[in-house]
Structure 1
Amino acid sequence: MMSNESANPFAGDQSSAQRRETTVRWLLRLSTFLIVAVTVSIVAHIFIKGAPITFRKEFPFVNVKFLTELPGTLHVIFDKQGNAIETDVNGADGIKKQLGDNFREEKTISYSGGGILGPIVGTALLVVVSVTIALFLGVCSAIYLSEYASKGKRVEMIRLAILNLAGVPSVVFGLFGLGAFVLTAPVLTDTPHERSLLVIPLLFTKLSFQGWDTCVLSGGFTLAFVILPVIITASEQCLQAVPQGFRETSMALGATRWQTIWRAVLPFATPGILTSSILGIARAAGETAPIMFTAALAFKDKLPWQKDMPPLPADAGMFAHWEQSVQRFLGIFTESVQALPYHIYTLAARIPHNEYSERAQYGSVFVFLVLVASLAATSIWMRRRLRGKYKW
């Protein structure tokens, strides 16, 4: 009878190799489980601490006040029995008057009262502006590098610069945004600012390089440059993944280079480009340092579209009302805003730690996590729909 060794001439000494293979496999498996466990523990901790602030047991099961009011100062009034009454600045005097001699003390905790509507709106505006700009510039750059640029040292240096840009600290981007957009960006105006670096007279107005000040546009453009390297790199790889035969077939039928890219390449790369936008959305929404210099305020008592404007005359026509509506809409992007990352930073670093500020912190973090997850889920859903539509 033949032995196992003679039956399989390719079999070698498997004992030591199998032990090493098993050890490596378990190390990799444990590393994966450790990462998952840490992620789940962080999310669970935020959920346990933050969900009770956002949700309620009774109808409508959501803390509407927390989601629909602007942040404010929380007033906590204690009576002599140790009972605590929470109110805002408008109700504090009335409660103290009702308590009379039973009033013991009052505590005020900044930014811990009201809700987080202002930071939610500001974060949404910054994300929309930054992702829109970054997707346009990123996809255009990726198309050039993938479809038009010839191979050589110049293109390799451009790719290396893009990769290096991805490693720049976010605070450096904040300083860049401060200099490029807040203080230097061009503005059409009849009255240039004193700090304007250059004024170019035009036909009916002047082009003044005086900056946009701290506003949504400055913060959005700065965040766009933060996420631009990720979008360029991912989009270029998605374009290169489309089979070359699609291009050759399209051009053989008489299509131009741009028609081929627009009709035969870009639709099939769109699902992967949306994946890169998911990463961009998550990073743009979570950055704090860039918006500190360019867009964010710790406190603001109005939403961006609630800017005060001079009242129109009683006999103002439809065009005047339409012009004012356009000015109000455009004014949204020239206003400073609150943002959830900066609001959380303010609560955690600038407010004395207590149970009331901690409650506001975890509630804000929980809502922030849900918003980012919702944006990512929407992008994933769109990617799957497009991937099902464009297959090869």
Structure 2
Amino acid sequence: MSSAHSTPSPHPFKSTGGLNKWSERGLTTIFASCAYLIILCALFIFFDIGRKGLPTFFKSEAPFINTEFFTENPQTLVTFHDADGKEYAMSSKNFDTWTKANPQIQVVNEHRLNYSAGGILNPLAGTALLVILCMTIALFIGVAAAVYLSEYCGQGRLMSAIRLSILNLAGVPSIVFALFGWGVFCYMAPILVSEVSDRSLLSFKVSSESYLSFEGWGTSLISGAFTLAIMVLPVIITACEESLRAVPKGFREASFALGSTKWQTIRKAVLPYALPGIMTASILGITRVAGETAPIMLTAAATDKNNLPWEGLDGTWSFFGQSVQALPFHIYTLAKLPDDPLSKPMQNGATLAFLLLVMGFAMLSIILRNRVRKKLKW
């Protein structure tokens, strides 16, 4: 028999005293401090890069913008003195012109610094092409793989192992992907040739004048793009799969009820509503691949290149099969130069331009994602 005056059960969410309140405030302060510390560190880095790099973007006389920095290729910086001890510093191109115009002036103490004059037009164009081509390949393959994992395959042990492998690949260092791309795409990928190279692993005769030879694409734009795409695929697949799973199942059921096929349901009722998440995956991919140096250095980069990637072409393959300059590798090359104050403006300017380029790609993806989100209401 139960007692008439039973003890009421305590309220599970009722405050038990001032100690819990102070603990809550302390944890809030710790969490907020960590968040603001990260923000302050990022702002300090951006401010420091901007403070050092902006003087390279501008100059004291009209038009006040250093157009040569954005419209010329990297050149050698030549420093020297004349017989009176006056010091000069100019690019190698201007130095040749100056010496021809002033043959009577004696050049003394000539000193050269590679890539410390001119501009960054070629590395800027090469980086943009690598990012665009890489993201085109990675998004196509990544979205297709995410659709299969989310909509077609089951939940068995094999699929769980595949998902775990994808997550593990996201943590592999970039130098491993660089070596993989260097070995596979530069030396083993298939290519149509008129004459088989000695390094070919295998070849097949396609026609009377061409062979399909597994001898690689060499150090080229397409090798670098595929290497970067393989490196960023785990991030894109994971983000796209999560966005596909976030679409309510009712959308699929309503589509099936109207007689749609599996692919029609995915194309009309799933992919459009997962598009903002796919755009988020592209942002994550851009921020990952744009700053990589090792894959570009081994598979795509050229230290010096006179022509822009679209100049002097004699066919489609000559565009994709050429090596390109890239800003990450260009900055790395500048960082290896002797510590000379005359090379600092080019280093700081290239770093700021690279930061702005990555931010520009990310902002473009964010704007497109927000525009898509405004059109979708569910």
Where structure 2 has 5 or more consecutive residues not aligned to the other structure, the ranges are 1-9
Q: Report the CA distance between 1:113 and its aligned residue.
A: 1.0
Letter of the structure 2 residue corresponding to residue 18 of structure 1: K
My pick for the range that moved more, 74-83 or 262-271, is 74-83
Choose the corresponding residue for 2:131, options 127, 134, 137.
127
Choose the corresponding residue for 1:20, options 12, 23, 38.
23
Q: Report the CA distance between 1:307 and its aligned residue.
A: 3.1
In the alignment, the residues of structure 2 paired with residue 162 and residue 219 of structure 1 have an alpha-carbon distance, to the nearest angstrom, of 21
In the alignment, the residues of structure 1 paired with residue 361 and residue 34 of structure 2 have an alpha-carbon distance, to the nearest angstrom, of 28
Residue of structure 2 equivalent to 1:257: 262
In the alignment, the residues of structure 2 paired with residue 83 and residue 245 of structure 1 have an alpha-carbon distance, to the nearest angstrom, of 79
1:210 aligns with 2:197: no
Tell me the number of residue pairs that the alignment of Structure 1 and Structure 2 aligns: 366
Taking the TM superposition and a 5 Å limit, the aligned residue runs for 1:29-40 are: 29-40=32-43
Residue of structure 2 equivalent to 1:232: 237
Choose the corresponding residue for 2:55, options 41, 52, 56.
52
Taking the TM superposition and a 5 Å limit, the aligned residue runs for 1:259-278 are: 259-278=264-283
In the alignment, the residues of structure 2 paired with residue 12 and residue 87 of structure 1 have an alpha-carbon distance, to the nearest angstrom, of 73
Say if 1:305 and 1:331, in contact at 8 Å, map to a contact too: no
1:151 aligns with 2:155: yes
In the alignment, the residues of structure 2 paired with residue 35 and residue 296 of structure 1 have an alpha-carbon distance, to the nearest angstrom, of 33
Residue of structure 2 equivalent to 1:375: 361
Partner SS, residue 216 of structure 2: coil
- Deviations 1:316-341 (Å, cap 9, x if unpaired)? xxxxxxxxxxx1x4421110011000
Residue of structure 2 equivalent to 1:364: 350
Q: Report the CA distance between 1:83 and its aligned residue.
A: 4.3
Residue of structure 2 equivalent to 1:315: none
Say if 1:185 and 1:212, in contact at 8 Å, map to a contact too: yes
1:347 aligns with 2:334: yes
Choose the corresponding residue for 1:113, options 117, 124, 127.
117
Q: 1:378 and 1:59, CA in 2 relative to 1: closer, same or farther beyond 3 A?
A: farther
Partner SS, residue 304 of structure 1: coil
Q: 1:96 and 1:60, CA in 2 relative to 1: closer, same or farther beyond 3 A?
A: closer
Q: 1:364 and 1:245, CA in 2 relative to 1: closer, same or farther beyond 3 A?
A: same
Partner SS, residue 197 of structure 2: coil
- Deviations 1:127-165 (Å, cap 9, x if unpaired)? 111100000000000000000001111110000010111
Residue of structure 2 equivalent to 1:87: 90
Q: Report the CA distance between 1:354 and its aligned residue.
A: 1.1
In the alignment, the residues of structure 1 paired with residue 374 and residue 98 of structure 2 have an alpha-carbon distance, to the nearest angstrom, of 61
Residue of structure 2 equivalent to 1:321: none
Q: Report the CA distance between 1:174 and its aligned residue.
A: 0.6
Q: Alpha carbon RMSD of aligned pairs, Å?
A: 1.9
In the alignment, the residues of structure 2 paired with residue 294 and residue 59 of structure 1 have an alpha-carbon distance, to the nearest angstrom, of 41
Say if 1:71 and 1:114, in contact at 8 Å, map to a contact too: yes
Residue of structure 2 equivalent to 1:385: 371
In the alignment, the residues of structure 2 paired with residue 279 and residue 57 of structure 1 have an alpha-carbon distance, to the nearest angstrom, of 38
Choose the corresponding residue for 1:139, options 140, 143, 151.
143
Letter of the structure 2 residue corresponding to residue 122 of structure 1: G
Choose the corresponding residue for 2:177, options 151, 173, 178.
173
Q: 1:145 and 1:11, CA in 2 relative to 1: closer, same or farther beyond 3 A?
A: closer
In the alignment, the residues of structure 2 paired with residue 176 and residue 94 of structure 1 have an alpha-carbon distance, to the nearest angstrom, of 45
1:71 aligns with 2:71: no
TM-score, with length taken from structure 2: 0.92
Q: 1:227 and 1:82, CA in 2 relative to 1: closer, same or farther beyond 3 A?
A: farther
Letter of the structure 2 residue corresponding to residue 111 of structure 1: Y
Partner SS, residue 80 of structure 2: strand
Say if 1:123 and 1:338, in contact at 8 Å, map to a contact too: yes
In the alignment, the residues of structure 1 paired with residue 357 and residue 21 of structure 2 have an alpha-carbon distance, to the nearest angstrom, of 46
Say if 2:313 and 2:319, in contact at 8 Å, map to a contact too: no
Residue of structure 1 equivalent to 2:252: 247
1:190 aligns with 2:177: no
Q: 1:203 and 1:58, CA in 2 relative to 1: closer, same or farther beyond 3 A?
A: same
- Deviations 1:275-334 (Å, cap 9, x if unpaired)? 11011111111100011110002211222222365xxxxxxxxxxxxxxxxx1x442111
Say if 1:79 and 1:99, in contact at 8 Å, map to a contact too: no
TM-score, with length taken from structure 1: 0.89
Letter of the structure 2 residue corresponding to residue 67 of structure 1: F
Residue of structure 1 equivalent to 2:3: none
Q: Report the CA distance between 1:188 and its aligned residue.
A: 1.2
In the alignment, the residues of structure 2 paired with residue 281 and residue 122 of structure 1 have an alpha-carbon distance, to the nearest angstrom, of 15
Letter of the structure 2 residue corresponding to residue 271 of structure 1: P
Q: Report the CA distance between 1:233 and its aligned residue.
A: 0.2
Letter of the structure 2 residue corresponding to residue 116 of structure 1: I
Say if 1:78 and 1:104, in contact at 8 Å, map to a contact too: yes
Q: Report the CA distance between 1:358 and its aligned residue.
A: 1.3
Say if 2:80 and 2:109, in contact at 8 Å, map to a contact too: yes
Partner SS, residue 266 of structure 1: helix
Letter of the structure 2 residue corresponding to residue 284 of structure 1: V
My pick for the range that moved more, 123-132 or 52-61, is 52-61
The structure with more helix, counted as a fraction of residues? 1
Say if 1:77 and 1:96, in contact at 8 Å, map to a contact too: no
In the alignment, the residues of structure 2 paired with residue 248 and residue 38 of structure 1 have an alpha-carbon distance, to the nearest angstrom, of 48
Alignment identity in percent?
A: 48
Q: 1:11 and 1:304, CA in 2 relative to 1: closer, same or farther beyond 3 A?
A: closer
